[in-house]
Every structure is written in C-alpha cells, then in structure tokens.
Amino acid sequence: MPELNVTELSSVFEDFTRMAIRIPAKQRWSFTTLSVLHTLAGVGPRRLTELTASEQVTQSAVTQIVTKLERDGLVERRPAPSDGRGVLVHITDAGRAVVEGRRAERLARLEELADRLAPAERAAIAAALPALARLVELNQTSRR
C-alpha cells in the first residue's frame, strides 16, 4: 500500500479546489463573495463579525461584500432575535439559487470528467472519499 505524501495531497487539493471553484462559468464572482454565499447557505445566518472570522478577511471587506450581495438581492440583513442591536445576514432564495446552480453546474462538469477516467481511477477516488470526509470532520472538531 502506498504511503501518504502530505505535500502531494496538499498540492492536488489546491489544484482540484482551483478547478472546482472555476467550473461554474455562467456568472463570475470573487472567491470571497462565493464563500460568503456558501457559508450562509451551509451554516445559516451569521453576524458580520462571524463572517469576517470564517472568511478570513477584514470587517471592511465583508461589509462591502454583504452590501453588494444585498443590493443584488442575494442576502438580506435582519435584526438578531437575541440582541435588538445586532444584525444577522441571511441568504435569500435568489442567493440560494446561485449556490445551487453553481453546484449543479459543477456536478455536471465533474461527471463529464469522471466519465473519462479509467474504471480503476474511479474506484480509487471512490475508495478515498470516506478518508477525505474524515479529514474534514477532524478539522472541524479540532477547531471547536
């Protein structure tokens, strides 16, 4: 059984991530803008300070992104139920449609590419999925 080369794993992840992010080509969005939409779609409403931390950008940058997304009808700000002065950013149905549309386009393209793999390559990727999912899980639990 081959030994895991973490440097190679990281390099392949970086290349795969760049490819996957760029697959949907109908609308061009910045990586951070898309990340904000995906975060809100995946984990729900967030305060601007939480988005600043999760997206690893400045408060000013998140505020600009949210303002643009709000202007485009993709997110909306609502008062926080637990704190009348606080505001939560919510994804709208239109924002969710952007996320889902990008996901559908990505899935279609990945299916096309996967169809060009040899059966052994497809099987190797399928066999690796549980371990990759476990890496994600370990990362999430170690950050809590």
The CA distance from 84 to 33, in Å, is 27
Mean pLDDT of 87-107: 93
Contact predicate 37/98, CB 8 Å:
yes
pTM over 0.85: no
Q: Does residue 46 sit in helix, strand or coil?
A: strand
Section 89-99 average pLDDT: 96
* Predicted pLDDT at 29: 79
Which one has a higher pLDDT value, 83 or 70? 70
Are the C-beta atoms of residues 40 and 95 closer than 8 Å to each other? yes
E-strand spans in the chain? 75-80, 83-91
